């Protein structure tokens, strides 16, 4: 694997950098991106939270809508609360009833969360909107994929939208500017370790 000497690597890296610089010089468009984090691995929501952290650091404003409320309490709210002028956090999906199988109620809950996302996308006050676990809702047909893709595609030019969750629908991935798939290589749950604060939630 390491057939090159470090010096050759450095030389290769230098050339690569020069080539990249040249390409980047031609990339002048700044626009809002539609970003999708999917796959079965860890890190979909976590990577989105990292983007939120960076947006805060750049003085930008972020709206977050959580489509599926987890059983576990999340630690991130404390951090969001430290930046009340920059982060609006809407933990929706309270009505999700995977256990009681009340589909009507789930659809209403999904619709309510989606309306909040649409409001944030339309509101010029937000630089980024994070629709956390929206893919799950789409997977269960609680919202029509066509409507969601249409709204996301027609978003204001400078608006970043991040969508997370397993099983991102094909149409959404098609519409996205950036799709990252998180692949699970190794997971501690298989080794007898329970979910822990700061790592899993």
How, if at all, do strands 87-91 and 62-66 pair? parallel
Counting contacts by CB under 8 A, is residue 9 touching its own copies? yes
- Comparing CB distances to its own copies, the nearer of 117 and 162 is 162
Counting contacts by CB under 8 A, is residue 194 touching its own copies? yes
Q: For residues 93 and 91, what is the distance between their CA atoms, to the nearest angstrom?
A: 7
Counting contacts by CB under 8 A, is residue 154 touching its own copies? no
Counting contacts by CB under 8 A, is residue 2 touching its own copies? yes
Let me know: does 67 contact 110? Beta carbons within 8 Å: yes
Let me know: does 167 contact 139? Beta carbons within 8 Å: yes
- Comparing CB distances to its own copies, the nearer of 17 and 122 is 17
Query: Which residue stretch of 95-103, 108-116, 117-125, 147-155 sits at the interface with its own copies (rule: CB under 8 A)?
Result: 95-103
Counting contacts by CB under 8 A, is residue 24 touching its own copies? yes
Counting contacts by CB under 8 A, is residue 22 touching its own copies? no
Going by C-alpha positions, the residue among 74, 113, 76 that lies closest to residue 93 is 113
The burial class, CB within 10 Å (0-12 / 13-18 / 19+), for 127 is middle
Question: 42 is written with which tokens?
Answer: 């860890």
Q: For residues 131 and 67, what is the distance between their CA atoms, to the nearest angstrom?
A: 7
Count residues binding its own copies (CB under 8 A): 83
Q: Least CB distance from residue 149 to its own copies, whole Å?
A: 15
Going by C-alpha positions, the residue among 144, 183, 160, 185 that lies closest to residue 62 is 160
Query: Which residue stretch of 29-37, 108-116, 117-125, 147-155 sits at the interface with its own copies (rule: CB under 8 A)?
Result: 29-37
Give the one residue of 3, 30, 85, 157 binding its own copies; rule: CB under 8 A: 30
Counting contacts by CB under 8 A, is residue 54 touching its own copies? yes
Counting contacts by CB under 8 A, is residue 105 touching its own copies? no
Rule CB under 8 A: which of 111-140 touch its own copies?
127-128, 140
């Amino acid at each position: 694997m390491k057939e090159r000497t470090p010096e050759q690597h450095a030389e290769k890296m230098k050339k690569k950098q020069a080539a990249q610089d040249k390409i980047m010089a031609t990339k002048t468009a700044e626009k809002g991106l539609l970003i999708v984090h999917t796959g079965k691995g860890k890190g979909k929501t976590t990577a989105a939270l990292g983007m939120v952290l960076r947006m805060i650091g750049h003085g930008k404003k972020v709206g977050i809508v959580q489509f599926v409320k987890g059983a576990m309490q999340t630690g991130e709210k404390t951090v969001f609360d430290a930046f009340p002028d920059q982060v609006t956090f809407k933990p929706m999906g309270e009505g999700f009833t995977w256990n009681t199988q009340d589909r009507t109620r789930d659809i209403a809950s999904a619709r309510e969360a989606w309306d909040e996302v649409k409001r944030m996308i339309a509101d010029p006050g937000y630089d980024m909107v994070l629709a956390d676990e929206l893919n799950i809702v789409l997977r269960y047909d609680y919202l029509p994929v066509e409507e969601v893709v249409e709204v996301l595609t027609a978003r204001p030019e400078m608006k970043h939208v991040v969508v997370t969750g397993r099983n991102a629908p094909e149409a959404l991935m098609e519409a996205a500017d950036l799709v990252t798939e998180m692949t699970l290589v190794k997971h501690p749950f298989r080794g007898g370790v329970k979910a822990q604060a700061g790592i899993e939630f």
